[in-house]
Each structure stands twice: as C-alpha cells, then as structure tokens.
Chains A and B, each alone.
Chain A
Amino acid sequence: MGKSILAVDDSTSMRQMVSFTLKGAGYDVTEAEDGQKALDIAKTKEFDMVLSDVNMPIMDGIQLIKELRQLPSFKFTPILMLTTESGTAKKMEGKQAGATGWIVKPFNPDQLLGTVKRVLG
C-alpha cells in the first residue's frame, strides 16, 4: 500500500481530480468534503500527508490545520493548503495555523504530483 493522503475540498470535481491523480500514482487517498469531516476521519486514522482546501463550509482549512496540529499523530504530518489566494495574507494565516506549505490553484495533475512527491519523497 502506498503512502496515505487525506484530501479535503468541498468541491467534488476538485476532490475527484486530486484523488484520481494521486491514486493513479499509487497513493492511498481518503476524501473529505469539509474540515469537520476531515477532522473526524483524522481522529481515527493516521495519514502521511494532508491536502486541504482553505475556503470550505462548516470548518475551513485554517481551522482544520489548527485542530489537526493538536492531534499527536498529526504533529509533524505535512499539511498542504490548496489555495487560490495569490496574496500572502491567507498563506501566512495558514502557516501560523501550522501548515507546511501550499499548492496554488489552479494546478494541473502534474504540478500536484510534483509537489506531493517532493514532500513525501
């Protein structure tokens, strides 16, 4: 089994694209459609990496990162934000919350894989 990734995005098409791309590269992908659902999953299972959208209903990406960092099993897990924010404010907010880094939307599957591989080795 490949390394496991938790992919969080409220947009179904984005989730499908991310999931399809990563599964195709042999990763084990779990999907969640908002921060709260992701957190619930994270409480029961460990992941090698988390990819999360920022703007989501119920619980947004920033809050999710804060919550995840409170969990012992996610203390050092790479968490990347999928963000369209080209401004630095959101990125910095994410970093403050404990994000590892970001992938800027729009990205294509190759860019996504490149970044994920870079982080997971």
Chain B
Amino acid sequence: MSIDLSQFKQTFLEESDEGLDVLESGLLALDSGSADEDVIHAVFRAAHSIKGGAGTFGLNEIASFTHIMETLLDEMRDGRREITQEAITALLNSVDVLRDMLEAAAEDVPPPMENAEQVTQELEAILNGVGQATIQTTTQATTNEQVVDEESVASVGWKVFFKPMEHMLRTGNDTVRILRELSALGEIKLTSDTSEIPDFSLMDPELSYISWNAELTGEISKEQITEIFEWVDEDCELVIEPFGEAKVEETAVPEAVAVAAETVQVAPETTAQPATVQSEPAAQPVAAKKERKKEGGSIRVGTDKVDELINMVGELVITQSMLSQMGSDFSMQRLEDMREGLSQLERNTRELQESVMRIRMLPISFSFQRFPRLVHDLSSKMGKKIELKLSGEQTELDKTVMEKIGDPLVHLVRNSLDHGIEKPEVRVEAGKPETGTIHLNAYHQGGHIMIEITDDGAGLPKDKLLAKAIKQGLTTESEGENMPDDKIYDFIFHPGFSTAETVSDVSGRGVGMDVVRKNIKELGGNIELSSEWGKGTKFTIRLPLTLAILDGQLLRIGDEVYIIPLVSIIESVEIDPSQISSIAGGNEVYKLRDEYIPLLHLDKMFRRPPRHNALEDSLMVVVEGDTHNLGIIVDDLLTQQQVVIKSLESNYKRVEGISGATILGDGTVALILDMMGLIAMSQAVDAPHAKAS
C-alpha cells in the first residue's frame, strides 16, 4: 500500500510553525533566566517533534539539521550541559534557519543551505566535536554490520534456543507471535521444553514457563532472526547458532548490532535525498511565492467555535421552519406571532454572522509573539537594556487584519527601541531605571481593537519636530507658535520626515511613519500618539475587528447613494458658499475655521448626473486622509449602518476611488468610497493643472 504523505505536510508545516514559536519564546526565557524546568522540556520537545515529522515527511535536510539542535537541547535538558548565552544565541540562529527551511518546504523548493551549514558549524563547535564523533561511530557501525551480514548467512540454517523469562508476557510480547514470525522465515522444526511448568496449584497463567528449540532451514541471515527477538532481547534467554557448523558462542545479540540495524533502515532515505536536492539550483524566487502562500492560508479553529456555529445554524433552521409553517396558513390574528418570528430570524442571523466572524478571529498573541525576539536581538545590538511587557495577548482580531498590522507594529516597536528608549547611562543620569520598558497592550473597544505601544523613553522632541517642519515648509513659524502638541507630533507621519540624527540600521531605513499610517488607514483604522518629553511616548492604533463589515455613512449625491466608512469622517457642515475660493487649476478650497480644505465634486469626478441641490443647500462631509483632509460635497446624509463589503474587483473590476460595494436593504447596490484613493485622485487631477499654471 502506498500512501501519499504530502497530504500531511501542510499540517506538519503548521505545527512546526507553532513549534518554532515555542522554541523561540522558550529560548528567550532561558536566556533571561526566567525559565523553569518545564521550559527546557518544552523547547526540547518542539525540536524533537519537528525532527520526527520532518524525517517522516521526507524533509531530510530539516530532520538532520534539527538533529543537532536536539542533541544540544537534550544535553541541556539532562543537565549534562550548561545553558550558556553562546548556546542560546546559536540555537536562536538555528530557529531562523529552520524557519527559512520550513518556508522553502512549504513552497516545495530546495531549502537554503548556506545559513544552515554555518549554524550547524556553530552548534557543532558548541557540542565540542561530539556531533562529529557520533556521526563517525554510526558510519562505522553500519560498515561493521554489513560485514557481519555477509558472514552471518549460514549455509544450512540456524538453531535457535528461546527461553522467555517468566514475565515476558507482561510486556505484551507473545511467544506465539514470535514463533509464527520465525516460522515465516523458512522451514522450521520446533520442539518445546515444558519441564519448568510448575505444579498446577503453583501455576500462574500470566507467566511463561515453556522454552523452545527451533531448527530453521533456508537462506536466512542472522539479522533476520535477531530482528524478531529485538523487542524481547532483555526478557529472554536466546541462543542462535549456525546449524551443523562449528559452534559460535553468542548468547545475546550484541547491542551495537541491534542499533546498527536500525541505522541501516533509515540510512537510504537520509543519505540519498540531499545529494539530488543540492544539485538543483538552490536560489528559487522564494520571495515572490511567499505572497501566494499568505493569500490562501488555512486557519485553525477551536472546536468550541465550530460547535457554536452549528448551534446557531440549528436555531436558524428552527426559526425558518416556524416561519414557513406560519406562511402556509396565515391569518391576520397571527401577525404578532409572525413579527415575533421575524425578529427571532433577525437575531439568529446576527448571531450567526457574529460567530462566523469569530472563526476568522485569532488572538493577537500570534502577532505579539515575534516581539520578544526582536527586542532581545535589537537591544543587545544597540547596547540598550529593555524589558518588553505584553498584555491583552488573548484579544482577538481578524486574521487578515492581523497579518496586515504585523509590519506596522514591528516598525513602531523598532522605533521605540531606537529613538524612544535611551542608552542605560543616559537613563541613569535622568534618574530613570537603567532598564527601559516597552509595553504592548491590546484590548477591545466598541467594534474595534486597540493596540497600544508605550515606551518610557525620551519622548518626542517637540521643538526639534517643529523646527524641522518649518524647515521642510510644512508649516510656518507664526503658525507654529500656538500649535497644539498633537498637531506637532502629527508631523512625524509626514512622508520624508525624520528627526533621527543618524540613520541607524534599526529604524530609519526608508520606510517611515507615513507608511505606517498609510497601512493602518488602508485597514480602516487610525493611529494616534501622545508623548511627554523625558517620560515616554505612546502610540494608540485603532483597527476594525474585521475587514468584511464596516460601519458606513450613507450619503446621496444626485441619484447615487455612496457609502463612506464612518471612521474617516471628521465632521459634516452646511456649506457657506462665501467660504469657497478657487485656486490655481480650477480647483476649489473651503475655508473651514482656520483651515483650507480641498473640495471634491464626486459627481464630476465620476462623471455622474449632477447634484440636485444648490450649493448653499448642500452639505460638506470632511474626511480624513493621510496627508490632508478633503471636503466632499453631498446632497444629503442618509442613515448610518453596518455594511457587508463585497469586492468590486472580483465581481467587476478595480475602480479607482472605490474600495468595494454593498447591497442595501432595498436590493440596490451602493459603492463604498475609498478615501485614500479619492485623495490620490484629487491630487492627480491637481498636478497637470498646477504645471500648466
């Protein structure tokens, strides 16, 4: 029977990912000395499982690489080896290597071996060449075994004396099975010795008293026989000698041979594979393929969530059948019942929707767990002492949102590490504890998840920010004088804005805070910051729990109904036409209090029938963009409601300025406006005009 092992590979890769996380967090805990014995056991087990699975599923490079890690961890676990900083670092490096190898395995490309070889050397150096020695002995045993093999084929056959010890049955080994296997090897002549069976009254049926003499004829190697007795080696007396030849004294199978036999079993697989794989070009475009992997990932859902879902569906079916029964013989007396039924249906639907959503929800710990390592590595690199605190790790959010917030979070934490927390000596001088703290916190608020990144570092230098903003022409000196703090802090989200004196390789590598904010906005969220000079900085990210549903404001322009995500709306005002002024290029701005806001006529932009109302009867909805705000002129604001987002791209095609569509209660389709897209469009419209003027 041949079974396709690849069907289990996906499961193996997923659990290996989890294993790597266990490894990483365990090693970090060991490093900081906060680990107890359970941790080293868990770490060992994780490496051990990866090795076992990798071997089973044909990922031999991973298996042999993990083997060295496992050996080292095993010695640490037994207390045979001290847990040193050096070893932890090497093991952490090997976690990275393994992660790459597993990723390659997921893409079915040969694993990258360069780093693996280097880390292997590091690990072997730590093992003090012990690894080398083991390998040598194994090979030696193998060759020995082969020699023995040739010699051990007896010309005629074998005489086997087998005397189970009394307790052998209690190990689950059955004499009958062993004799049956023996007889399968060739022709057998079996005699039993029952002389040791005690008197009936003393006999214990659970013990074994009979010994056996077997004469086996045929072309049988000694190993074939010893293999049968492998499990009972210690539980019996066993004499195997060649038939009719000079007696070779050998009572029990030497241990070395038994071990060697196993080595041989696995050897063809472990050695043959790497040779063929390595000869192929190693560097495949892995990066390009990574994307694809993320698109169609799988998700592990707790059984309780599935059960809950099934429950809901059950309820829904009951309500539905109740309603349809009512429909078949309806009279006005039952109107109240029907209303009741309909509201129950509504409740069921809502609950069902919620629990379906919950299936895609994962605890944010999946995203947080990479930070201990990041902070550990970077802080030692920068000579800073930093403690990372995590809280609210069990707060759940949508899988897609989580995947997309990963990079911005990393950027923010790097930023806190680099610019926020000061060097130990500076901190001491300022009367602060030497070790700085970065705190990641998550919690739910309304239909949103809030993520806070707080550091107790230097805080943002307000004066420097303002000076830089003036220098870059983002504001003027007079404007800056009475500028509120949050406006000043806001400059850091401007493209190309960085106050760092030196560009370190930790942060300030091109990707700026503007990208962070853009990414967060694209998810329909926002980011705020507060800071106190000398005390620290706190970033607060607010994200929707899911991307499938949004809170929308319905608005009407001409005959069209559009939807704006509620989070992007700052305010809505009645238009005072006198505040509108035309600027170069035929564009208009609206003076709202002290701010000039570019105006957008959606009807013109989308080339739709014009607005019904005159300008003075219209409203302006002020929406927030990443660089500036925008005023959209609308006829009317309708209701606010939750809308289910349908992809326009998969049903029609991508349209600039539109992020999706939804179906309204009356069955019509309404388009959901994409604020970022609209602002980009309005700027694109501006640009050629600006040049012309």
Residues in A lying within 8 Å of B, measured CB to CB: 10-14, 16-17, 20-21, 24-25, 55-57, 69, 75-79, 84, 86-88, 92, 95, 98-102, 104-111, 113, 118-119, 121
Contacts and interface: CB of A to CB of B under 8 A. Distances in A.
Contacts of A87: 259
B269 interface: yes
Contact of B259 (A79, A86, A107, A109): A86
B647 interface: no
Contacts of A84: 48, 51-52, 55
Interface string B230-250: 110011000000000000000
Contacts of B258: 88
16 contacts: A12-B15, A13-B56, A14-B49, A17-B3, A17-B57, A24-B1, A76-B170, A78-B173, A84-B55, A86-B263, A87-B259, A98-B170, A101-B173, A106-B63, A118-B177, A119-B177
B266 interface: yes
Contacts of B169: 76
B145 to A, nearest CB: 14
Interface string B170-183: 11111001001100
B3 A86 contact: no
B180 to A, nearest CB: 7
A77 B49 contact: no
B49 A11 contact: yes
Contacts of A16: 8, 11
Contact of B56 (A95, A98, A105, A113): A105
B172 A105 contact: no
B280 interface: no
B231 A101 contact: yes
A92 B258 CA distance: 13
A14 B3 CA distance: 14
B152 to A, nearest CB: 21
B3 A24 contact: yes
A46 B44 CA distance: 32
Interface in B32-88: 42, 44-45, 48-49, 51-57, 63
Contacts of B45: 10, 55-57
A13 B11 contact: yes
Contacts of A100: 171-173, 231
Contact of B15 (A11, A24, A78): A11
B1 A113 contact: yes
B114 interface: no
Contacts of A20: 3, 7-8
A121 B177 contact: yes
B1 A109 contact: yes
Nearest to A119: B177
B692 interface: no
Contacts of B259: 86-88
Contacts of A76: 169-170, 172, 174, 206
The secondary structure that dominates the B interface is helix
Interface of B: 1-3, 5, 7-9, 11-12, 14-15, 42, 44-45, 48-49, 51-57, 63, 169-174, 177, 180-181, 206, 230-231, 234-235, 255, 258-259, 262-263, 265-266, 269
B235 to A, nearest CB: 8
A86 B270 CA distance: 14
Nearest to B42: A57
A17 B180 contact: no
A102 B230 CA distance: 9
Given A55-B48, A56-B45, A102-B231, A13 B15 contact: yes
A52 B206 CA distance: 24
B51 A110 contact: no
A109 B57 contact: no
A46 to B, nearest CB: 14
A57 B19 CA distance: 13
A101 B42 contact: no
B488 to A, nearest CB: 52
Nearest to A21: B3
Contacts of B14: 12
B206 A75 contact: yes
B70 to A, nearest CB: 8
B171 A14 contact: no
Contacts of A10: 45, 49
Contacts of A79: 172
A57 to B, nearest CB: 7
Given A75-B170, A78-B174, 9 more contacts: A17-B5, A55-B49, A76-B170, A76-B174, A99-B171, A100-B172, A101-B173, A109-B5, A111-B265
Contacts of B234: 92, 95
Nearest to A20: B3
Contacts of B9: 13
Nearest to B255: A88
Contacts of B52: 11, 14, 84, 105-106
Nearest to B19: A11
Contacts of A119: 177
Contact of B8 (A17, A78, A98, A110): A17
B177 A95 contact: no
A14 B172 CA distance: 24
Contacts of A106: 52, 54-56, 63, 266, 269
A11 B11 CA distance: 9
Contacts of B55: 84, 105-106
Given A21-B3, A57-B45, A13 B172 contact: no
A78 B48 contact: no
A58 B170 CA distance: 26
